[in-house]
Amino acid sequence: MSKHSRKLAKLVDTSPKEETAILVALIHQNETEKLVQDHLDELAFLTETLGAKAIHRFTQRMDKPDTRSFVGTGKLEEIKAYVEYFDVDMVIFDEDLSPSQVKILENELKIKVYDRSMLILDIFLNRAQTAQAKTQVELARFQYLLPRLTRMWTHLERQRGGTATRGGAGEKEIETDKRDIRRKIDILKDKLKKIEKQGQTQRKGRQGIVRVALVGYTNVGKSTLMNLLTKENILAENKLFATVDSTVRKVVLENIPFLISDTVGFIRKLPTHLIESFKSTLSEIEEADLLVHVVDIAHPGFEDQIAVVNQTLRELGAGDKPMIMVFNKIDIAPKMPSEEELMEMSEFEVEEANFIDFEKLKVSYAKKSAINPVFMAAGDGTNIDELRKTIIEEVKKIHKKMYPHYLEDEVVDFSQYSDEE
């Protein structure tokens, strides 16, 4: 081996190893294997967003989880054998685990165990940018972690400084960490109160101007759409929860000013602690006059995602607000072919392609709302003018209620409304 080759080999040996994970899900009664695999696809994407690689999946058909091991003794032995043979770093469950289940699983598997909520909380912690978002996520994470603290999670991984090692630490260290967490929870609660008081003052300054909020499932293209509408450069990545912090901008269309906010994306089984801690951020949705619900129409489960978003909006008390449905990513969605093209395809090919009839969908959603849906592609700007037109039409209606004689016999000074982060 040459000197150069030896140096290269040494660099490879000392480079950080990508953590590996196995994913685990139950197949409940009335659930299909395909549905659960779709859920595991999302879990794999979440795992990738955290920075780990999902290398295998385990499913177990059970009506309800085993109270001790979640998956049952036989399946746990199967998982344990795989973990030991392939030297896996972590196991991630697609549901929440009780504190006792976490303890039993980590004692058996000797590696870190993530449940769905802890995985999402850690992703949020990595993605948060503002002081408010960081404080909210840290508080939610500590509250969730406290009853689940085990040897694998000692010293809070030195404040996310690295993954806990196999074997962990002793009971005394765990008790020390629990006291430390309780103290940090109190500090974070006080800090959040001060931040929220500042936020309330900011929101009072926005009274008298129409507020529009972009909502939707995570990774549907809200930030890309926000960039198009505001002509600004807001982070837009093909990752789950690329946006954790709310971003508010002022837009003026046809001499009508309004505020538009890009909010955190929703997801199936969003942790309760997270919703509770993010209430002040989610107030952008609660206080909005108009919602723009962005949907990734290219996603095979887009209708399920719509249902998740609508349910979350109802839980926030925002389910009855005026809403524009925006079906995004039409450029990559399997659009219904022409009759001539269908004639050349077999019945099996048509069924497998899962084509979307845009016209049929448009009629269906137009019946559900007084506002016609918009079909567009934020990636290349297709139909962005149609969306702008729809937004300004609805904003005008709301604005006219606020200022019936605006642009007729009086001028309203909006200079006080500066752009906000």
The yes-or-no verdict on residue 248 having pLDDT over 90 is no
Residues 383-402, mean pLDDT to the nearest whole number:
92
- Higher-pLDDT residue of 94, 192: 94
Residue 161 pLDDT grade (very low, low, confident, very high; cuts 50, 70, 90): very low
Which of 44-48, 70-74, 402-406 is least confident? 402-406
Q: What pLDDT is recorded for position 157?
A: 47
* pLDDT tens, residue by residue, 229-244: 887 654 445 555 545 4
Give me the residue label for tokens 């109270």.
67
Residues 191-202, mean pLDDT to the nearest whole number:
75
H helices present in 60-170, as ranges: 73-86, 99-109, 116-127, 131-145, 156-160
Q: What pLDDT is recorded for position 46?
A: 92
pTM as predicted: 0.78
Feature table: binding site: 216-223, 241-245, 262-265, 328-331
Residue 8 pLDDT grade (very low, low, confident, very high; cuts 50, 70, 90): low
What phi and psi values does residue 279 have, to the nearest 5 degrees?
-55, -40
Feature table: binding site for GTP: 216-223, 241-245, 262-265, 328-331
Contact 349, 341 (CB under 8 A): no
Residue 166 pLDDT grade (very low, low, confident, very high; cuts 50, 70, 90): very low
- Paired residues of 212 in beta bridges: 260, 290
- Paired residues of 213 in beta bridges: 261, 291
Residues 361-386, mean pLDDT to the nearest whole number:
90
Q: What pLDDT is recorded for position 42?
A: 92
Residues 170-186, mean pLDDT to the nearest whole number:
83
Feature table: binding site for Mg(2+): 223, 243
In CATH, what is the architecture of 206-402? 3-Layer(aba) Sandwich (3.40)
Identify the CATH homologous superfamily for domain 17-128: GTPase HflX, N-terminal domain (3.40.50.11060)
Domain boundaries, the chain: 17-128, 206-402
- Paired residues of 335 in beta bridges: 356
Supply the DSSP string of 200-232, one letter for each residue.
HHHHHTTTTSEEEEEEEBTTSSHHHHHHHHHT-
Instruction: Give the separation between CA 288 and CA 246, rounded to whole angstroms.
Output: 13
- Higher-pLDDT residue of 279, 216: 216
Side by side, which strands form the sheet with 256-262? 247-253, 256-262, 210-216, 290-296, 323-328, 374-375
